[in-house]
Amino acid sequence: MKNICVITGGGSGMGLETARIMASTHYIIICGRTVQKLESAVKVLREEGIACEAFPCDVADRNSVERLAQHAKEAGRVQALIHAAGMSPHMGDVEAILSTNAVGTIHMNTAFYKIMGEGSCILDVSSMSAYLTPSFIMPRKLYKYSMEDPSVFLHKMMRRIRIFPAAARAGVAYGISKHFVIWYSKQCALKYGEKGIRVVCVSPGNFETPMGKLEQEEADKFTNHAAIKRFGKPEEIAFLFSSIVDERNSYLTGLDIICDGGLVASGVNAFTR
């Protein structure tokens, strides 16, 4: 059976660059909500000689995710899931951000746990915002509801975020949702290890991607605080992703890796920039 790598958010940016690297060892399935973007990406990849296909999927929709997982299973052995899809504060309202970033990760991990096995790896993508958002904001006690009922979890998270001023809610929702992804991926690592599935999280900083351009004005304020004073290149984070899911990294699981040019290490946060 051929090895399959599924990449959400694979139509552009770091997901698309990761597809290029992973294609040397895997058949690629890229996923996203925008069919036109996926089709354009597949065309480009195939012109480069890459064996791949597109599969439309909305990670916030559990049924959509389960269809994706079943399709991937039928294509071969799903060795790698790189869940890079996400929504920034400039891309949607609070509920959309939480549904995509937090609940979407629940849907993806749960569905792919069922169809993946020994030697496989799930890579969840968080953000350095999980570290830049002040810790006291994080509703850690609510995270446990994600393991019981995602709809109850979403309802409780929405109630928590509504206590903040309306103008700040999207940014707060983003930071909390990405903080949750780190927590959730670690819970999954503990559980999924019984099947030989590794789960690793990566928290990228500012990268030269379409999403990065939407955040550029605010992100530029942070750059001077970093050790490496520039935005990252998509191929740099793609190399990290591909290294993590490589089966030779078989002892790596249950952690978050920050790839931000040293920004978090500077101690800056969203309130002190």
- pLDDT value at position 215? 66
Instruction: Give the lowest-confidence range in 60-74, 182-196, 222-236.
Output: 222-236
pLDDT in tens, 81-108: 999 999 999 899 999 999 999 999 999 9
Of 254, 206, 255, 241, which is closest to residue 10 (Cα–Cα)?
241
Residue type, 138: M
pLDDT band at 1; cut points 50, 70, 90: confident
- pLDDT value at position 225? 85
- pLDDT value at position 208? 87
- pLDDT value at position 78? 98
- pLDDT value at position 273? 45
Tokens representing residue 121 in the block: 């790896």
List residues bridging with 81 in a β-sheet: 6, 122
In the predicted structure, residue 218 carries a pLDDT above the cut 90: no
3-state secondary structure of 7: strand
CA separation for the pair 138, 35 (Å, rounded) = 34
pLDDT band at 32; cut points 50, 70, 90: very high
User: Mean pLDDT over residues 38-57, rounded?
Assistant: 96
Beta strands in the chain (DSSP E): 3-8, 27-32, 52-56, 77-83, 120-125, 197-204, 256-259
- pLDDT value at position 90? 87
User: Mean pLDDT over residues 114-119, rounded?
Assistant: 98
- Answer left, alpha or beta for residue 106, where phi above 0 means left and psi between -120 and 50 means alpha: alpha
In the predicted structure, residue 191 carries a pLDDT above the cut 60: yes
pLDDT in tens, 50-92: 999 999 999 999 999 999 999 999 999 999 999 999 999 989 9
In the predicted structure, residue 212 carries a pLDDT above the cut 60: no
pLDDT band at 269; cut points 50, 70, 90: confident
- pLDDT value at position 28? 98
Classify burial at 230, counting beta carbons within 10 Å of its beta carbon; exposed 0-12, middle 13-18, buried 19 or more: exposed
Measured in whole angstroms, the distance separating CA 25 from the mean position of its chain's CA atoms is 21
User: Mean pLDDT over residues 249-268, rounded?
Assistant: 94
DSSP code, position 134 = -
